[in-house]
């Protein structure tokens, strides 16, 4: 693939916590993106291909909403990594229960912060968007850089909540 190196999920070390079924290897895909302009589109395509394989090969339900939101979250996170961090970006997609986790690592140690609402601000809404559409979101400082994880529910929520969150 142009813009990244494919890592075969079968070569990964199984982790029962991330498995769909106990004892089964995790369903995941990892790609190193070169940080060039085409890497954002490549990451979006990789995410859609991954979810299509999850549905076809593992029989897991993946709603059209989950496909669209995953594509959006990947686009926003990889765009931010490319914009603010020099060098490559690592993207991991993995299934954990009924969610897809989108994990993006970059070399910048500065943790992102959602900005206060400002109707006059043009742009710089990516993090706010990701947080609004994700079922879960976390940022972790790493020995080098940071890792951002967003979780998106795979099936549609019967209550109609776009994020798949349950009412509190």
Mean of pLDDT values over 42-49: 97
pTM: 0.79
Q: What is the pLDDT of residues 65-98, one digit of tens each?
A: 999 999 999 999 999 999 888 889 999 999 999 9
Q: What is the pLDDT of residues 48-71, one digit of tens each?
A: 999 999 999 999 999 999 999 999
The encoded tokens of residue 54 equal 């999850």
Q: What are phi and psi of 42, to 5 degrees?
A: -60, -40
CB atoms closer than 10 angstroms to residue 159? 9
Q: Would you state the pLDDT for residue 14?
A: 32
3-state secondary structure 108-134: CCCCCCCCCCCCCCCCCCHHHHHHHHC
What single-letter DSSP state applies at residue 38?
Answer: T
How far is it, in rounded angstroms, from Cα 134 to Cα 129? 9
Q: Would you state the pLDDT for residue 5?
A: 33
What single-letter DSSP state applies at residue 9?
Answer: G
Residue 6 has pLDDT above 70, yes or no: no
How far is it, in rounded angstroms, from Cα 84 to Cα 108? 7
């Amino acid at each position: 693939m142009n813009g990244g190196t494919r890592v075969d999920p079968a070569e990964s070390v199984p982790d029962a916590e991330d498995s769909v079924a106990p004892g089964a290897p995790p369903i995941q895909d990892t790609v190193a993106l070169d940080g060039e302009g085409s890497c954002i589109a490549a990451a979006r395509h990789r995410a859609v291909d991954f979810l299509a394989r999850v549905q076809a090969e593992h029989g897991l339900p993946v709603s059209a909403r989950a496909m669209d939101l995953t594509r959006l979250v990947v686009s926003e996170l990889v765009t931010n990594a490319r914009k603010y961090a020099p060098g490559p970006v690592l993207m991991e997609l993995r299934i954990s229960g009924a969610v897809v986790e989108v994990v993006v690592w970059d070399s910048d140690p500065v943790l992102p912060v959602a900005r206060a609402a400002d109707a006059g601000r043009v742009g710089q809404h990516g993090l706010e968007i990701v947080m609004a559409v994700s079922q879960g979101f976390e940022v972790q400082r790493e020995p080098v850089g940071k890792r951002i994880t967003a979780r998106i529910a795979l099936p549609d929520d019967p209550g109609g909540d776009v994020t798949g969150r349950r009412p509190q």
